[in-house]
């Protein structure tokens, strides 16, 4: 099979986006949130944890902590206990408290709206920043690359980089996906990976983009 040109790959990506948008027109995060701060906290908690588990934990958490100052003032040990079931709770509690303290001190209590400012928050990397910016503010500065996006983009041959190279995978995807679609593309690929293009046994027969996937029925 001849190597696909970048132009042809962009055309294939455009078709993939159209198909996925038709199949799942309202694709978004499955995390529960009602404001940017809640989404930031939930996204931090979602690392190495299911969205379903995070939603159980944040149901109580969001009732107790309403502002960035609330989280910043929380005792480390107390917050650790409250988020323990999400895993890696010590680092997550430290990240939440640190990010909240900087938001309260430097951004007037409001989650910032630029990638540079988001990355200045303790414990916030590009994936978390892209999720919050794109989902809460509609600001498309990056493509959130999680394990589903890594796996599916690899199977779709949109990147040749491995699953431990998220920055390089994001760079590849940003060269193919229109900026206006950065956030929605990530959400659609996450849902595709979560429910159809699973790690163990992808359901190619029910995949809306199987005819556009070089790996279809081969995994």
Where in the sequence numbering do the catalytic residues fall? 127, 146
The DSSP-derived string for 53-100 is HHHHHHHHHHHH--SHHHHHHS-HHHHHHHHGGGSSHHHHHHHHHHHH
How far CA 186 is from CA of 21, 112, 119, 146, in Å, comes to 12, 21, 19, 9
Name, in order, each residue with C-beta under 8 angstroms of 7's C-beta and a sequence gap of 6 or more. none
The sign one gets for the Cα dihedral 145, 194, 23, 138 is negative
Q: How far apart are CA 33 and CA 72, in angstroms?
A: 19
**Using CA atoms, how far apart are residues 219 and 27, in angstroms rounded to an integer?**
25
Whether the CB-CB separation of 3 and 25 falls below 8 Å is answered with no
């Amino acid at each position: 099979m001849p190597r696909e040109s970048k132009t042809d790959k962009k055309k294939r990506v455009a078709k993939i986006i159209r198909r996925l948008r038709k199949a799942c027109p309202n694709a978004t995060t499955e995390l529960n949130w009602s404001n940017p701060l809640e989404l930031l906290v939930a996204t931090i908690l979602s690392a190495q944890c299911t969205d379903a588990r995070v939603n159980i934990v944040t149901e109580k958490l969001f009732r107790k902590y309403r502002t960035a100052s609330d989280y910043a003032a929380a005792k480390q040990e107390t917050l650790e206990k409250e988020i323990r079931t999400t895993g890696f709770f010590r680092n997550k509690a430290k990240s939440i408290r640190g990010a909240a303290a900087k938001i309260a001190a430097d951004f007037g209590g409001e989650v910032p709206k630029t990638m540079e400012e988001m990355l200045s928050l303790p414990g916030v990397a590009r994936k978390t920043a892209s999720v919050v910016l794109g989902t809460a503010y509609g600001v498309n500065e990056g493509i959130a690359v999680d394990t589903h996006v890594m796996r599916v983009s690899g199977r779709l041959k949109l990147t040749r980089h491995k699953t431990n190279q998220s920055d390089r995978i994001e760079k590849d995807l940003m060269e193919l996906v229109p900026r206006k679609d950065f956030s929605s593309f990530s959400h659609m690929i996450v849902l595709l990976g979560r429910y159809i293009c699973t790690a163990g046994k992808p359901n190619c027969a029910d995949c809306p983009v199987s005819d556009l996937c070089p790996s279809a029925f081969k995994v």
